[in-house]
Structure 1
Protein backbone atom coordinates (compact mmCIF):
# COMPACT_ATOMS: atom_id res chain seq x y z
CA UNK A 1 0.00 0.00 0.00
CA UNK A 2 1.20 3.50 -0.82
CA UNK A 3 2.21 5.36 2.33
CA UNK A 4 0.68 8.82 2.65
CA UNK A 5 0.74 10.94 5.78
CA UNK A 6 -2.88 11.97 6.26
CA UNK A 7 -2.67 15.40 7.85
CA UNK A 8 -3.09 19.13 7.50
CA UNK A 9 -5.50 21.28 5.53
CA UNK A 10 -6.99 19.53 2.51
CA UNK A 11 -9.36 21.62 0.38
CA UNK A 12 -12.27 19.79 -1.27
CA UNK A 13 -11.44 21.73 -4.40
CA UNK A 14 -14.19 23.45 -6.34
CA UNK A 15 -15.12 22.16 -9.80
CA UNK A 16 -15.14 25.32 -11.94
CA UNK A 17 -17.96 25.50 -14.46
CA UNK A 18 -18.44 27.39 -17.71
CA UNK A 19 -21.72 29.20 -18.39
CA UNK A 20 -23.08 26.08 -20.12
CA UNK A 21 -22.24 23.97 -17.04
CA UNK A 22 -19.34 22.17 -18.71
CA UNK A 23 -16.18 21.88 -16.64
CA UNK A 24 -13.81 24.82 -16.93
CA UNK A 25 -10.62 22.81 -17.17
CA UNK A 26 -8.30 25.80 -17.39
CA UNK A 27 -9.69 27.33 -14.21
CA UNK A 28 -9.52 23.97 -12.44
CA UNK A 29 -5.79 23.95 -13.11
CA UNK A 30 -5.58 27.52 -11.82
CA UNK A 31 -7.35 26.56 -8.60
CA UNK A 32 -5.01 23.61 -8.05
CA UNK A 33 -2.01 25.91 -8.28
CA UNK A 34 -3.69 28.59 -6.21
CA UNK A 35 -4.30 26.37 -3.19
CA UNK A 36 -0.95 24.59 -3.46
CA UNK A 37 0.69 28.01 -3.54
CA UNK A 38 -1.07 28.79 -0.27
CA UNK A 39 0.56 25.78 1.39
CA UNK A 40 -2.24 23.22 1.58
CA UNK A 41 -1.30 19.67 2.52
CA UNK A 42 -3.44 17.82 -0.01
CA UNK A 43 -6.18 18.30 -2.61
CA UNK A 44 -9.53 16.51 -2.61
CA UNK A 45 -11.29 16.61 -6.02
CA UNK A 46 -15.02 15.97 -6.34
CA UNK A 47 -15.81 16.11 -2.67
CA UNK A 48 -18.96 17.81 -1.47
CA UNK A 49 -17.65 21.27 -2.37
CA UNK A 50 -16.48 19.85 -5.68
CA UNK A 51 -20.11 18.92 -6.47
CA UNK A 52 -19.49 15.19 -6.67
CA UNK A 53 -23.25 14.69 -6.40
CA UNK A 54 -23.70 16.60 -9.68
CA UNK A 55 -20.89 15.10 -11.78
CA UNK A 56 -21.09 12.13 -14.12
CA UNK A 57 -18.67 9.22 -13.88
CA UNK A 58 -16.80 10.47 -16.97
CA UNK A 59 -16.56 13.97 -15.52
CA UNK A 60 -15.13 12.61 -12.29
CA UNK A 61 -12.49 10.76 -14.31
CA UNK A 62 -11.59 13.94 -16.16
CA UNK A 63 -11.46 16.11 -13.04
CA UNK A 64 -9.23 13.61 -11.26
CA UNK A 65 -6.96 13.27 -14.28
CA UNK A 66 -6.52 17.06 -14.47
CA UNK A 67 -5.93 17.48 -10.74
CA UNK A 68 -3.33 14.70 -10.65
CA UNK A 69 -1.58 16.06 -13.73
CA UNK A 70 -1.54 19.64 -12.47
CA UNK A 71 -0.55 18.71 -8.91
CA UNK A 72 2.56 16.93 -10.20
CA UNK A 73 3.14 15.13 -6.93
CA UNK A 74 3.51 18.30 -4.88
CA UNK A 75 0.80 17.21 -2.45
CA UNK A 76 -1.28 14.03 -2.14
CA UNK A 77 -4.49 13.83 -4.17
CA UNK A 78 -7.52 12.43 -2.36
CA UNK A 79 -10.16 11.06 -4.74
CA UNK A 80 -13.77 10.95 -3.62
CA UNK A 81 -14.79 7.49 -4.80
CA UNK A 82 -17.87 6.79 -2.70
CA UNK A 83 -21.12 5.99 -4.51
CA UNK A 84 -24.56 4.76 -3.47
CA UNK A 85 -23.85 1.09 -4.18
CA UNK A 86 -20.87 -1.04 -3.29
CA UNK A 87 -20.48 -2.10 -6.90
CA UNK A 88 -20.19 1.49 -8.13
CA UNK A 89 -17.88 2.41 -5.27
CA UNK A 90 -15.51 -0.43 -6.12
CA UNK A 91 -15.59 0.54 -9.80
CA UNK A 92 -14.78 4.21 -9.15
CA UNK A 93 -12.19 3.34 -6.50
CA UNK A 94 -10.33 1.07 -8.91
CA UNK A 95 -10.47 3.74 -11.61
CA UNK A 96 -9.13 6.38 -9.23
CA UNK A 97 -6.27 4.06 -8.31
CA UNK A 98 -5.49 3.45 -11.98
CA UNK A 99 -5.46 7.20 -12.69
CA UNK A 100 -2.90 7.76 -9.95
CA UNK A 101 -4.78 9.00 -6.89
CA UNK A 102 -2.82 8.85 -3.64
CA UNK A 103 -5.74 8.38 -1.24
CA UNK A 104 -9.43 7.48 -1.55
CA UNK A 105 -12.10 9.27 0.43
CA UNK A 106 -15.23 7.13 0.52
CA UNK A 107 -18.47 8.75 1.61
CA UNK A 108 -21.22 6.62 3.10
CA UNK A 109 -23.95 5.39 0.75
CA UNK A 110 -26.94 7.71 0.54
CA UNK A 111 -30.71 7.79 0.00
CA UNK A 112 -31.46 4.28 1.31
CA UNK A 113 -30.93 3.61 5.00
CA UNK A 114 -28.01 1.31 5.78
CA UNK A 115 -27.34 -0.59 9.00
CA UNK A 116 -23.91 -0.47 10.62
CA UNK A 117 -23.30 -4.05 9.48
CA UNK A 118 -24.15 -3.07 5.91
CA UNK A 119 -21.81 -0.08 6.10
CA UNK A 120 -19.08 -2.31 7.49
CA UNK A 121 -19.49 -4.81 4.65
CA UNK A 122 -19.59 -1.98 2.08
CA UNK A 123 -16.31 -0.49 3.23
CA UNK A 124 -14.57 -3.82 3.69
CA UNK A 125 -15.37 -4.82 0.11
CA UNK A 126 -14.16 -1.48 -1.22
CA UNK A 127 -10.96 -1.71 0.83
CA UNK A 128 -10.25 -5.22 -0.46
CA UNK A 129 -10.57 -4.06 -4.08
CA UNK A 130 -7.74 -1.50 -3.99
CA UNK A 131 -4.25 -1.01 -2.61
CA UNK A 132 -4.63 2.64 -1.64
CA UNK A 133 -5.12 4.31 1.75
CA UNK A 134 -8.78 4.97 2.46
CA UNK A 135 -10.30 7.79 4.51
CA UNK A 136 -13.88 7.13 5.60
CA UNK A 137 -16.26 10.05 5.10
CA UNK A 138 -19.13 10.65 7.53
CA UNK A 139 -21.64 13.37 6.62
CA UNK A 140 -25.03 12.10 7.81
CA UNK A 141 -26.90 15.36 7.18
CA UNK A 142 -26.26 14.89 3.46
CA UNK A 143 -26.33 11.09 3.08
CA UNK A 144 -28.81 10.02 5.75
CA UNK A 145 -26.36 7.38 7.00
CA UNK A 146 -24.04 7.93 9.97
CA UNK A 147 -20.85 5.99 10.61
CA UNK A 148 -20.91 5.08 14.30
CA UNK A 149 -17.61 5.36 16.20
CA UNK A 150 -17.65 1.62 16.92
CA UNK A 151 -17.97 0.89 13.20
CA UNK A 152 -15.08 3.20 12.38
CA UNK A 153 -12.92 1.42 14.97
CA UNK A 154 -13.97 -1.98 13.64
CA UNK A 155 -13.11 -1.01 10.07
CA UNK A 156 -9.78 0.50 11.13
CA UNK A 157 -8.92 -2.73 12.93
CA UNK A 158 -9.98 -5.12 10.18
CA UNK A 159 -8.86 -3.32 7.00
CA UNK A 160 -5.15 -2.43 6.84
CA UNK A 161 -5.71 0.29 4.25
CA UNK A 162 -8.50 2.09 6.10
CA UNK A 163 -6.27 4.68 7.73
CA UNK A 164 -8.46 7.68 8.47
CA UNK A 165 -11.90 9.19 8.84
CA UNK A 166 -13.31 12.58 7.92
CA UNK A 167 -16.21 13.59 10.14
CA UNK A 168 -18.57 16.27 8.85
CA UNK A 169 -21.35 15.58 11.33
CA UNK A 170 -20.61 18.74 13.31
CA UNK A 171 -20.86 16.58 16.43
CA UNK A 172 -17.55 17.07 18.24
CA UNK A 173 -18.19 14.20 20.64
CA UNK A 174 -18.67 11.83 17.70
CA UNK A 175 -15.35 12.95 16.23
CA UNK A 176 -13.64 12.63 19.63
CA UNK A 177 -14.83 9.04 19.83
CA UNK A 178 -13.29 8.37 16.41
CA UNK A 179 -9.98 9.51 17.91
CA UNK A 180 -10.39 7.65 21.18
CA UNK A 181 -11.45 4.30 19.74
CA UNK A 182 -8.75 4.22 17.04
CA UNK A 183 -5.91 5.51 19.24
CA UNK A 184 -5.63 2.12 20.96
CA UNK A 185 -5.09 0.27 17.67
CA UNK A 186 -1.67 -0.86 16.53
CA UNK A 187 -1.69 1.46 13.49
CA UNK A 188 -1.63 5.11 12.53
CA UNK A 189 -5.16 6.43 12.07
CA UNK A 190 -5.94 10.04 11.16
CA UNK A 191 -9.16 11.79 12.12
CA UNK A 192 -9.95 14.89 10.06
CA UNK A 193 -12.63 17.47 10.73
CA UNK A 194 -15.01 18.09 7.87
CA UNK A 195 -16.46 21.01 9.82
CA UNK A 196 -14.13 23.98 9.43
CA UNK A 197 -15.01 25.42 12.83
CA UNK A 198 -13.71 22.29 14.58
CA UNK A 199 -10.25 21.97 13.02
CA UNK A 200 -8.26 23.40 15.92
CA UNK A 201 -10.38 21.64 18.56
CA UNK A 202 -9.79 18.23 16.97
CA UNK A 203 -6.08 18.93 16.50
CA UNK A 204 -5.87 19.63 20.22
CA UNK A 205 -7.65 16.36 20.92
CA UNK A 206 -5.41 14.19 18.75
CA UNK A 207 -6.84 14.66 15.27
CA UNK A 208 -4.69 15.42 12.25
CA UNK A 209 -6.34 18.33 10.45
CA UNK A 210 -9.34 19.06 8.29
CA UNK A 211 -10.92 18.78 4.87
CA UNK A 212 -11.72 22.47 4.72
CA UNK A 213 -14.24 23.92 2.28
CA UNK A 214 -13.27 27.43 3.38
CA UNK A 215 -9.79 26.76 1.99
CA UNK A 216 -11.34 27.38 -1.43
CA UNK A 217 -11.92 30.97 -0.30
CA UNK A 218 -9.20 31.69 2.28
CA UNK A 219 -6.51 29.04 1.73
CA UNK A 220 -3.69 30.90 3.52
CA UNK A 221 -5.83 31.51 6.60
CA UNK A 222 -6.98 27.90 6.80
CA UNK A 223 -3.40 26.65 6.43
CA UNK A 224 -2.42 29.04 9.23
CA UNK A 225 -4.65 27.13 11.66
CA UNK A 226 -2.66 23.95 11.13
CA UNK A 227 0.79 25.46 10.76
CA UNK A 228 0.45 27.62 13.87
CA UNK A 229 -0.78 24.62 15.85
CA UNK A 230 2.10 22.49 14.56
CA UNK A 231 4.55 25.22 15.61
CA UNK A 232 3.07 25.28 19.10
CA UNK A 233 1.67 28.78 18.69
CA UNK A 234 -1.83 28.16 19.99
CA UNK A 235 -2.71 31.84 20.25
CA UNK A 236 -2.01 32.34 16.55
CA UNK A 237 -3.85 29.12 15.69
CA UNK A 238 -6.89 30.21 17.70
CA UNK A 239 -6.88 33.61 16.04
CA UNK A 240 -6.89 32.01 12.59
CA UNK A 241 -9.60 29.53 13.61
CA UNK A 242 -11.84 32.23 15.06
CA UNK A 243 -11.33 34.53 12.07
CA UNK A 244 -13.46 32.38 9.77
CA UNK A 245 -16.53 32.45 12.03
CA UNK A 246 -18.13 35.54 10.40
CA UNK A 247 -17.84 33.95 6.96
CA UNK A 248 -19.32 30.65 8.12
CA UNK A 249 -22.21 32.56 9.70
CA UNK A 250 -23.39 33.41 6.18
CA UNK A 251 -24.07 29.71 5.55
CA UNK A 252 -27.47 30.18 7.20
CA UNK A 253 -28.63 31.86 4.00
CA UNK A 254 -28.27 28.78 1.79
CA UNK A 255 -26.31 25.76 0.68
CA UNK A 256 -22.73 26.17 2.00
CA UNK A 257 -21.33 24.73 -1.25
CA UNK A 258 -23.12 27.43 -3.22
CA UNK A 259 -21.98 30.19 -0.87
CA UNK A 260 -18.36 29.07 -0.99
CA UNK A 261 -18.38 29.00 -4.79
CA UNK A 262 -20.04 32.42 -5.04
CA UNK A 263 -17.54 33.79 -2.51
CA UNK A 264 -14.60 32.48 -4.54
CA UNK A 265 -16.07 34.18 -7.59
CA UNK A 266 -16.58 37.49 -5.80
CA UNK A 267 -12.93 37.39 -4.72
CA UNK A 268 -11.75 37.04 -8.30
CA UNK A 269 -11.69 33.34 -9.12
CA UNK A 270 -13.89 32.70 -12.21
CA UNK A 271 -15.19 29.35 -10.96
CA UNK A 272 -18.74 29.86 -12.22
CA UNK A 273 -21.95 28.76 -10.55
CA UNK A 274 -22.84 25.45 -8.98
CA UNK A 275 -24.88 23.22 -11.27
CA UNK A 276 -28.60 23.89 -11.27
CA UNK A 277 -30.69 23.83 -9.25
CA UNK A 278 -28.12 24.30 -6.45
CA UNK A 279 -26.93 27.72 -7.57
CA UNK A 280 -29.06 30.44 -6.04
CA UNK A 281 -28.55 32.80 -3.13
CA UNK A 282 -31.19 35.26 -1.97
CA UNK A 283 -30.61 39.00 -2.27
CA UNK A 284 -30.38 39.14 1.53
CA UNK A 285 -27.79 36.37 1.53
CA UNK A 286 -25.75 37.98 -1.25
CA UNK A 287 -25.71 41.28 0.59
CA UNK A 288 -24.57 39.57 3.80
CA UNK A 289 -21.88 37.66 1.89
CA UNK A 290 -20.47 40.78 0.22
CA UNK A 291 -20.33 42.60 3.55
CA UNK A 292 -18.59 39.75 5.34
CA UNK A 293 -16.05 39.35 2.56
CA UNK A 294 -15.14 43.01 2.95
CA UNK A 295 -14.76 42.49 6.69
CA UNK A 296 -12.64 39.39 6.15
CA UNK A 297 -10.42 41.24 3.69
CA UNK A 298 -9.95 44.09 6.18
CA UNK A 299 -9.02 41.53 8.83
CA UNK A 300 -6.33 40.03 6.64
CA UNK A 301 -8.02 36.78 5.60
CA UNK A 302 -6.77 35.49 2.26
Structure 2
Protein backbone atom coordinates (compact mmCIF):
# COMPACT_ATOMS: atom_id res chain seq x y z
CA UNK A 1 0.00 0.00 0.00
CA UNK A 2 1.20 3.51 -0.82
CA UNK A 3 2.28 5.53 2.19
CA UNK A 4 0.78 8.97 1.56
CA UNK A 5 0.67 11.91 3.95
CA UNK A 6 -3.01 12.77 4.01
CA UNK A 7 -3.07 16.38 5.09
CA UNK A 8 -3.54 19.92 3.89
CA UNK A 9 -6.11 21.32 1.51
CA UNK A 10 -7.27 18.98 -1.24
CA UNK A 11 -9.33 20.46 -4.07
CA UNK A 12 -12.38 18.46 -5.23
CA UNK A 13 -11.55 19.36 -8.80
CA UNK A 14 -14.43 20.54 -10.95
CA UNK A 15 -14.96 18.90 -14.33
CA UNK A 16 -14.74 21.44 -17.17
CA UNK A 17 -17.29 20.82 -19.91
CA UNK A 18 -17.87 22.04 -23.41
CA UNK A 19 -21.16 23.54 -24.55
CA UNK A 20 -22.37 20.07 -25.59
CA UNK A 21 -21.57 18.74 -22.07
CA UNK A 22 -18.58 16.70 -23.19
CA UNK A 23 -15.42 16.85 -21.08
CA UNK A 24 -13.11 19.75 -21.89
CA UNK A 25 -9.75 18.00 -21.63
CA UNK A 26 -7.67 21.08 -22.36
CA UNK A 27 -9.27 23.07 -19.56
CA UNK A 28 -9.19 20.11 -17.17
CA UNK A 29 -5.42 19.99 -17.61
CA UNK A 30 -5.27 23.76 -17.16
CA UNK A 31 -7.24 23.53 -13.90
CA UNK A 32 -4.87 20.87 -12.58
CA UNK A 33 -1.88 23.12 -13.19
CA UNK A 34 -3.64 26.22 -11.88
CA UNK A 35 -4.40 24.44 -8.62
CA UNK A 36 -0.92 23.01 -8.16
CA UNK A 37 0.73 26.33 -9.05
CA UNK A 38 -1.51 28.02 -6.48
CA UNK A 39 -0.14 25.80 -3.72
CA UNK A 40 -2.89 23.25 -3.25
CA UNK A 41 -1.81 20.07 -1.42
CA UNK A 42 -3.76 17.49 -3.41
CA UNK A 43 -6.26 17.12 -6.24
CA UNK A 44 -9.45 15.11 -6.03
CA UNK A 45 -11.22 14.37 -9.32
CA UNK A 46 -14.68 12.76 -9.27
CA UNK A 47 -15.85 14.36 -6.06
CA UNK A 48 -19.13 16.19 -5.56
CA UNK A 49 -17.75 19.36 -7.17
CA UNK A 50 -16.48 17.20 -10.02
CA UNK A 51 -20.06 16.11 -10.75
CA UNK A 52 -19.22 12.43 -10.33
CA UNK A 53 -22.91 11.78 -9.70
CA UNK A 54 -23.74 12.61 -13.33
CA UNK A 55 -20.73 11.16 -15.19
CA UNK A 56 -20.68 7.80 -16.96
CA UNK A 57 -18.25 5.06 -15.93
CA UNK A 58 -16.17 5.62 -19.08
CA UNK A 59 -16.08 9.39 -18.50
CA UNK A 60 -14.80 8.79 -14.97
CA UNK A 61 -11.99 6.62 -16.32
CA UNK A 62 -11.08 9.28 -18.87
CA UNK A 63 -10.98 12.03 -16.23
CA UNK A 64 -8.74 9.97 -13.95
CA UNK A 65 -6.36 9.22 -16.82
CA UNK A 66 -6.12 12.90 -17.74
CA UNK A 67 -5.59 14.09 -14.16
CA UNK A 68 -2.96 11.48 -13.27
CA UNK A 69 -1.13 12.21 -16.51
CA UNK A 70 -1.17 15.97 -15.90
CA UNK A 71 -0.30 15.88 -12.19
CA UNK A 72 2.81 13.80 -12.86
CA UNK A 73 3.32 13.00 -9.20
CA UNK A 74 3.57 16.62 -8.05
CA UNK A 75 0.77 16.22 -5.48
CA UNK A 76 -1.32 13.22 -4.39
CA UNK A 77 -4.32 12.36 -6.55
CA UNK A 78 -7.46 11.34 -4.65
CA UNK A 79 -10.00 9.52 -6.83
CA UNK A 80 -13.69 9.51 -6.00
CA UNK A 81 -14.71 5.92 -6.74
CA UNK A 82 -17.82 5.48 -4.62
CA UNK A 83 -20.87 4.17 -6.48
CA UNK A 84 -24.25 2.91 -5.33
CA UNK A 85 -23.33 -0.77 -5.49
CA UNK A 86 -20.38 -2.46 -3.84
CA UNK A 87 -19.65 -4.29 -7.10
CA UNK A 88 -19.36 -1.12 -9.20
CA UNK A 89 -17.39 0.67 -6.48
CA UNK A 90 -14.83 -2.15 -6.51
CA UNK A 91 -14.69 -2.13 -10.30
CA UNK A 92 -14.05 1.63 -10.48
CA UNK A 93 -11.59 1.47 -7.57
CA UNK A 94 -9.56 -1.21 -9.34
CA UNK A 95 -9.51 0.85 -12.52
CA UNK A 96 -8.33 3.89 -10.55
CA UNK A 97 -5.55 1.81 -9.02
CA UNK A 98 -4.47 0.65 -12.49
CA UNK A 99 -4.42 4.26 -13.72
CA UNK A 100 -2.09 5.26 -10.91
CA UNK A 101 -4.07 7.36 -8.44
CA UNK A 102 -2.65 7.63 -4.95
CA UNK A 103 -5.73 7.50 -2.71
CA UNK A 104 -9.35 6.44 -3.09
CA UNK A 105 -12.19 8.49 -1.67
CA UNK A 106 -15.27 6.30 -1.28
CA UNK A 107 -18.59 7.97 -0.57
CA UNK A 108 -21.37 6.10 1.18
CA UNK A 109 -23.80 4.31 -1.14
CA UNK A 110 -26.68 6.63 -1.89
CA UNK A 111 -30.39 6.83 -2.71
CA UNK A 112 -31.32 3.65 -0.77
CA UNK A 113 -31.03 3.61 3.01
CA UNK A 114 -28.21 1.48 4.42
CA UNK A 115 -27.69 0.15 7.94
CA UNK A 116 -24.39 0.61 9.75
CA UNK A 117 -23.63 -3.08 9.24
CA UNK A 118 -24.25 -2.70 5.52
CA UNK A 119 -21.99 0.36 5.37
CA UNK A 120 -19.25 -1.44 7.29
CA UNK A 121 -19.42 -4.47 5.02
CA UNK A 122 -19.46 -2.27 1.91
CA UNK A 123 -16.31 -0.35 2.85
CA UNK A 124 -14.54 -3.48 4.12
CA UNK A 125 -15.18 -5.35 0.88
CA UNK A 126 -13.85 -2.43 -1.16
CA UNK A 127 -10.76 -2.24 1.04
CA UNK A 128 -10.19 -6.00 0.67
CA UNK A 129 -10.14 -5.69 -3.11
CA UNK A 130 -7.61 -2.87 -3.60
CA UNK A 131 -4.12 -2.07 -2.38
CA UNK A 132 -4.57 1.69 -2.05
CA UNK A 133 -5.29 3.87 0.97
CA UNK A 134 -8.99 4.71 1.32
CA UNK A 135 -10.60 7.85 2.73
CA UNK A 136 -14.24 7.36 3.69
CA UNK A 137 -16.63 10.10 2.57
CA UNK A 138 -19.59 11.07 4.75
CA UNK A 139 -22.09 13.46 3.13
CA UNK A 140 -25.52 12.51 4.48
CA UNK A 141 -27.40 15.48 3.01
CA UNK A 142 -26.54 14.25 -0.49
CA UNK A 143 -26.29 10.48 -0.01
CA UNK A 144 -29.01 9.89 2.57
CA UNK A 145 -26.62 7.71 4.58
CA UNK A 146 -24.35 8.71 7.45
CA UNK A 147 -21.37 6.78 8.78
CA UNK A 148 -21.70 6.67 12.56
CA UNK A 149 -18.59 7.45 14.62
CA UNK A 150 -18.59 3.91 16.02
CA UNK A 151 -18.60 2.54 12.45
CA UNK A 152 -15.68 4.80 11.50
CA UNK A 153 -13.86 3.54 14.60
CA UNK A 154 -14.41 -0.05 13.51
CA UNK A 155 -13.40 0.68 9.91
CA UNK A 156 -10.23 2.43 11.08
CA UNK A 157 -8.97 -0.97 12.24
CA UNK A 158 -8.66 -2.00 8.58
CA UNK A 159 -5.12 -1.22 7.46
CA UNK A 160 -5.82 0.56 4.18
CA UNK A 161 -8.77 2.61 5.47
CA UNK A 162 -6.72 5.61 6.51
CA UNK A 163 -9.11 8.54 6.88
CA UNK A 164 -12.55 10.05 6.64
CA UNK A 165 -13.94 13.21 5.08
CA UNK A 166 -16.95 14.60 6.91
CA UNK A 167 -19.31 16.87 4.98
CA UNK A 168 -22.19 16.64 7.44
CA UNK A 169 -21.66 20.21 8.65
CA UNK A 170 -21.98 18.86 12.18
CA UNK A 171 -18.79 19.76 14.01
CA UNK A 172 -19.56 17.38 16.85
CA UNK A 173 -19.55 14.56 14.31
CA UNK A 174 -16.03 15.60 13.25
CA UNK A 175 -14.99 15.66 16.90
CA UNK A 176 -16.35 12.17 17.45
CA UNK A 177 -14.52 10.88 14.39
CA UNK A 178 -11.30 12.34 15.81
CA UNK A 179 -11.97 10.93 19.28
CA UNK A 180 -12.86 7.47 18.01
CA UNK A 181 -9.76 7.13 15.81
CA UNK A 182 -7.15 8.85 17.99
CA UNK A 183 -5.48 5.56 18.87
CA UNK A 184 -4.50 5.12 15.22
CA UNK A 185 -2.02 7.92 14.75
CA UNK A 186 -1.96 7.78 10.96
CA UNK A 187 -5.75 8.08 10.58
CA UNK A 188 -6.75 11.42 9.04
CA UNK A 189 -10.00 13.26 9.68
CA UNK A 190 -10.71 15.89 7.02
CA UNK A 191 -13.38 18.55 6.98
CA UNK A 192 -15.61 18.53 3.93
CA UNK A 193 -17.23 21.75 5.08
CA UNK A 194 -15.00 24.67 4.10
CA UNK A 195 -16.11 26.77 7.07
CA UNK A 196 -14.82 24.20 9.56
CA UNK A 197 -11.31 23.53 8.23
CA UNK A 198 -9.34 25.52 10.80
CA UNK A 199 -11.48 24.27 13.65
CA UNK A 200 -11.01 20.69 12.44
CA UNK A 201 -7.24 21.25 12.44
CA UNK A 202 -7.29 22.72 15.93
CA UNK A 203 -9.25 19.71 17.16
CA UNK A 204 -6.71 17.26 15.77
CA UNK A 205 -7.87 16.82 12.17
CA UNK A 206 -5.53 16.97 9.18
CA UNK A 207 -7.11 19.52 6.83
CA UNK A 208 -9.98 19.68 4.39
CA UNK A 209 -11.34 18.74 1.00
CA UNK A 210 -12.51 22.19 0.02
CA UNK A 211 -14.83 23.07 -2.85
CA UNK A 212 -13.97 26.76 -2.47
CA UNK A 213 -10.40 25.90 -3.48
CA UNK A 214 -11.66 25.74 -7.07
CA UNK A 215 -12.29 29.50 -6.73
CA UNK A 216 -9.70 30.61 -4.16
CA UNK A 217 -6.91 27.98 -4.15
CA UNK A 218 -4.17 30.16 -2.68
CA UNK A 219 -6.38 31.37 0.16
CA UNK A 220 -7.64 27.89 0.99
CA UNK A 221 -4.13 26.43 0.98
CA UNK A 222 -3.04 29.30 3.22
CA UNK A 223 -5.46 28.23 5.95
CA UNK A 224 -3.47 25.04 6.35
CA UNK A 225 -0.07 26.58 5.72
CA UNK A 226 -0.59 29.26 8.35
CA UNK A 227 -1.87 26.70 10.85
CA UNK A 228 1.13 24.45 10.15
CA UNK A 229 3.45 27.41 10.68
CA UNK A 230 1.85 28.20 14.03
CA UNK A 231 0.20 31.46 12.94
CA UNK A 232 -3.34 30.73 14.11
CA UNK A 233 -4.50 34.34 13.81
CA UNK A 234 -3.46 34.48 10.17
CA UNK A 235 -5.07 31.09 9.55
CA UNK A 236 -8.30 32.44 11.06
CA UNK A 237 -8.16 35.47 8.79
CA UNK A 238 -7.90 33.21 5.74
CA UNK A 239 -10.68 31.00 7.10
CA UNK A 240 -12.98 33.97 7.70
CA UNK A 241 -12.29 35.43 4.26
CA UNK A 242 -14.36 32.82 2.42
CA UNK A 243 -17.56 33.56 4.33
CA UNK A 244 -18.94 36.07 1.84
CA UNK A 245 -18.55 33.58 -1.00
CA UNK A 246 -20.13 30.75 0.95
CA UNK A 247 -23.09 33.03 1.60
CA UNK A 248 -23.73 32.85 -2.15
CA UNK A 249 -24.63 29.18 -1.82
CA UNK A 250 -28.17 30.23 -0.97
CA UNK A 251 -28.64 31.05 -4.65
CA UNK A 252 -28.34 27.45 -5.84
CA UNK A 253 -26.60 24.13 -5.76
CA UNK A 254 -23.13 24.77 -4.25
CA UNK A 255 -21.52 22.86 -7.16
CA UNK A 256 -23.23 25.18 -9.61
CA UNK A 257 -22.27 28.29 -7.63
CA UNK A 258 -18.61 27.20 -7.53
CA UNK A 259 -18.49 26.40 -11.24
CA UNK A 260 -20.23 29.67 -12.11
CA UNK A 261 -17.67 31.58 -10.04
CA UNK A 262 -14.73 29.85 -11.73
CA UNK A 263 -16.27 30.70 -15.10
CA UNK A 264 -16.70 34.34 -14.07
CA UNK A 265 -12.99 34.41 -13.17
CA UNK A 266 -12.29 33.78 -16.85
CA UNK A 267 -11.75 30.02 -16.97
CA UNK A 268 -13.77 28.24 -19.70
CA UNK A 269 -15.08 25.49 -17.43
CA UNK A 270 -18.63 25.58 -18.78
CA UNK A 271 -21.78 24.91 -16.82
CA UNK A 272 -22.73 21.97 -14.64
CA UNK A 273 -24.60 19.25 -16.48
CA UNK A 274 -28.33 19.75 -16.79
CA UNK A 275 -30.56 19.92 -14.95
CA UNK A 276 -28.18 21.18 -12.24
CA UNK A 277 -26.94 24.16 -14.22
CA UNK A 278 -29.00 27.25 -13.45
CA UNK A 279 -28.13 30.29 -11.35
CA UNK A 280 -30.54 33.22 -11.15
CA UNK A 281 -29.53 36.69 -12.31
CA UNK A 282 -29.64 37.76 -8.67
CA UNK A 283 -27.24 34.97 -7.81
CA UNK A 284 -24.84 35.86 -10.60
CA UNK A 285 -24.82 39.50 -9.49
CA UNK A 286 -24.07 38.39 -5.92
CA UNK A 287 -21.23 36.12 -7.05
CA UNK A 288 -19.72 38.88 -9.21
CA UNK A 289 -19.89 41.33 -6.30
CA UNK A 290 -18.09 38.91 -3.96
CA UNK A 291 -15.44 38.08 -6.56
CA UNK A 292 -14.80 41.78 -7.19
CA UNK A 293 -14.58 42.57 -3.46
CA UNK A 294 -12.29 39.62 -2.80
CA UNK A 295 -10.07 40.52 -5.74
CA UNK A 296 -9.54 43.97 -4.26
CA UNK A 297 -8.63 42.34 -0.93
CA UNK A 298 -6.10 40.05 -2.60
CA UNK A 299 -8.14 36.91 -1.94
CA UNK A 300 -7.37 34.43 -4.70
Question: TM-score under structure 1 normalisation?
Answer: 0.99
**Secondary structure, counterpart of 1:277 in structure 2:** coil
1:229-252 alpha-carbon deviations (Å, 9 max, x no partner) = 000001110000000000000001
1:236 aligned residue: 234
Residue from 254, 257, 261 that aligns with 2:255:
257
1:221 aligned residue: 219
- Deviation, 1:101, is 0.7
| Distance (Å, rounded) in 1 between the aligned partners of 2:50 and 2:18 | 14
Cα-Cα RMSD = 0.6
- Deviation, 1:257, is 0.2
**Secondary structure, counterpart of 2:3 in structure 1:** coil
| Distance (Å, rounded) in 1 between the aligned partners of 2:194 and 2:159 | 28
Aligned residues: 300
1:87-236 mapped onto 2 (5 Å cutoff): 87-157=87-157, 159-185=158-184, 187-236=185-234
- Deviation, 1:284, is 1.3
**Secondary structure, counterpart of 1:163 in structure 2:** strand
**Secondary structure, counterpart of 1:132 in structure 2:** coil
**Secondary structure, counterpart of 1:207 in structure 2:** coil
1:8-46 alpha-carbon deviations (Å, 9 max, x no partner) = 000000100000000000000000000000111110001
| Distance (Å, rounded) in 2 between the aligned partners of 1:38 and 1:290 | 21
1:12 aligned residue: 12
1:65 aligned residue: 65
* Unmatched runs of 5 consecutive residues or more in structure 1: none
| Distance (Å, rounded) in 1 between the aligned partners of 2:3 and 2:183 | 20
**Secondary structure, counterpart of 1:287 in structure 2:** helix
| Distance (Å, rounded) in 1 between the aligned partners of 2:249 and 2:293 | 16
**Secondary structure, counterpart of 2:178 in structure 1:** helix
Residue from 262, 281, 292 that aligns with 1:283:
281
1:157-196 alpha-carbon deviations (Å, 9 max, x no partner) = 1x100000000000000011000100023x4100000000
| Distance (Å, rounded) in 1 between the aligned partners of 2:208 and 2:228 | 13
* Unmatched runs of 5 consecutive residues or more in structure 2: none
| Distance (Å, rounded) in 1 between the aligned partners of 2:281 and 2:71 | 37
| Distance (Å, rounded) in 1 between the aligned partners of 2:17 and 2:131 | 32
Matched, 1:2 2:2: yes
2:268 aligned residue: 270
| Distance (Å, rounded) in 1 between the aligned partners of 2:12 and 2:114 | 25
Structure 1's consecutive aligned runs of 4 or more residues displaced over 3 angstroms after TM superposition are none
1:201-231 alpha-carbon deviations (Å, 9 max, x no partner) = 0000000000000000000000000000000
Question: TM-score under structure 2 normalisation?
Answer: 0.99
| Distance (Å, rounded) in 1 between the aligned partners of 2:281 and 2:42 | 35
| Distance (Å, rounded) in 1 between the aligned partners of 2:116 and 2:108 | 11
Return 283-292 or 201-210, whichever deviates more.
283-292
- Deviation, 1:268, is 1.1
